[in-house]
Chain A
Amino acid sequence: MVEETKSYRCRCIVKGSGSGEALVSREPMCFYLCDPLTGTVIEKNHPLQGRSLAGKVLVLQSGKGSSVVQVDGFYQLWVKGNLPAAIIVAEAEPVLVSSAVVVDAVMVDRLEVNPFEAIEDGDWVEVDSTEEIVKVTKRRPEPGMRVRP
């Protein structure tokens, strides 16, 4: 395997830094519909249903759902230590931003490239919100190596 790292500019919404494996959701998300004890998405028919956000760098389209519950969703994940390590949001919206500020969840937006093209599930992503830098490391097979079917 070879590794390839690229750096992108972004904008700070909530200061701090965090790294982890990328988890990509092209759909908006309601954090209340996660199990706080594991960070697992439990929303029916959500593309991430059954997968855990805990410790991941979440690449997220946007927020959705009632204003009441988004805040509590973040809070419960925070209390149990199961928030994502950082969130890269494509389309920030007020409820999502407020929820992140309350529990100091690291959040950036305005990545200089389309985050859904630059980042895929399993990439290693380092977010430094304070410095407004996102580093993405892709793992790919070495040239000439056969990929198992």
Chain B
Amino acid sequence: MFLSDEEKRMLDGEMGQGVRKAMELLVALGKTFDAERLIPITRAHVALSGQEGDTYWCGLLADGGARCKVPPTTNPAWDVTNLSKRFEVTDSELDLALRTIEVYRKIGAQLTFCCTPGLSTNVPAFGEHVAFSESSATPYVNAVLGARSNRESSVSALAAAVVGKTPLYGLHLDENRRGQFLVEVEATLEEPYDWGLLGWLVGRFSGRRVPVFNFRTLARRPSPEALLYLGAELNTSGAVPMYHIAGLTPEAPTLQAAFGSSPPEAELVVTEEDLRNQEEAISEQGGPINLVMLGCPHYSYGQIREIERLMEGRRVREGVAFWVLTSFEALELAMRSGEKERLAALGVDLVADTCIDEPCWKSFEGGLGVTDSPKCAYYRERRGQPFVIRSLEKCIEAAILGEVR
């Protein structure tokens, strides 16, 4: 791989040990993927997690003197100020969360603590070269916005933010962005939940290929949130940072354009029944619940309003906690506009800066939860909390009944 004199000096440690480690990682990636050189990036998003591995890496760079050339936005850990009052956490869990905030502040990140940067805080334009980690964010900026990012990890995105560059390979190049297999969708998709199920199903099948969705009928244009869900699940059950929807996403004005040649035969046809079977295969059976957890990825302000509409003024059953994880901006808007207070009166709590996979949620473990996110269920399994996976409307009915029927 070609390195400029300045890049070589970075790799040799002339600009400090933190920059050297960051360059080492970029060069290893570049070599692995036969990149010819590094290219500048205009934006980055780091999937900060408040987990040891990630905080270790940020600390290694920051303590080695590195500061971000391109200040990245960051994923959530958990809202230390508010949730440590509501839930029991150990001193070491609290300490880790505080250390995480400290090292990311030190390295010069924008502490947005939000996993949906493409919806608001860090929105690239068409064709921008960026380094976005977070499994739901990468497909969103690629497929929906037409920006160019590889499937970065938190550590590679932070390295790119420090150096201000990324190796030129993969989805930065036209030829790797084209569709590789065709999915015919016969099912009618209504809400973000349905798009998430579709993503999970196709992700299992895709491996690392770029799927192209062709809809027999598209009842209505999917919302940004629906497209976010599609990508989140594609990139969790599979490793799919890019997709096309014929006639809808910017690099697929037609089916032919998506493939760059005549479209192949459909490898996969997805019906309503396939989606219902997929739900059944990944969801726990019904039963009494202790938790409703929404917002993986973070709920938008519009989705918070939708919760209020579906609640119809009814209260959450006693013994059931109802948490909605959202961005700081959506939370602020819900405070100003009144949803936060009205929902709190019904037993629905909104919280920003927080991920589903954090120690603050451990008091619910051992019980059954319900969520509209297969990704949430997939990651909570490790923590000993099984989830029933249902649409938002059914999650709300379960909250009111105290069980999933």
Contacts and interface: CB of A to CB of B under 8 A. Distances in A.
A103 B138 CA distance: 24
Interface of B: 24-25, 28-29, 31-33, 47, 49, 51-54, 56-57, 75, 133-135, 138, 150-157, 159, 170, 207-208, 235-239, 357, 375, 379, 381-382
Given A14-B28, A62-B208, A62-B239, A75 B52 contact: yes
Most B C-beta atoms less than 10 A away, residue of A14, A91, A94, A99: A94
Given A93-B239, A101-B24, A101-B28, A69 B379 contact: yes
A111 B135 CA distance: 29
A124 interface: no
Given A66-B236, A101-B25, A93 B56 contact: no
B357 A99 contact: no
Contacts of B53: 71-76, 99, 102-103
Given A72-B49, A75-B56, A98 B379 contact: no
- For this complex, into which size category does the number of interface residues on chain A fall? 35 or more
Contact of A68 (B29, B75, B159, B237): B75
A68 B49 contact: yes
13 contacts: A62-B208, A67-B153, A68-B49, A68-B154, A69-B51, A73-B53, A75-B52, A75-B54, A76-B52, A91-B207, A94-B153, A98-B159, A102-B56
Interface string A44-73: 100000000000000000111111111111
B51 A72 contact: yes
Contacts, number: 124
Given A94-B152, A94-B153, A98-B156, A67 B28 contact: no
Contacts of B51: 68-69, 71-72, 75
Interface in A123-148: none
A79 B53 CA distance: 9
Nearest to A65: B236
A67 B135 CA distance: 6
A63 B208 CA distance: 10
Nearest 10 Cβ contacts at the A-B interface: A75-B53, A72-B53, A68-B49, A72-B51, A66-B135, A98-B153, A98-B156, A67-B153, A95-B153, A67-B133
Given A63-B239, A66-B135, A67-B47, 10 more contacts: A13-B28, A64-B238, A67-B154, A68-B47, A72-B51, A94-B170, A97-B29, A99-B153, A102-B57, A109-B32
A65 B75 CA distance: 16
A23 B159 CA distance: 32
A69 B156 contact: no
B29 A71 contact: no
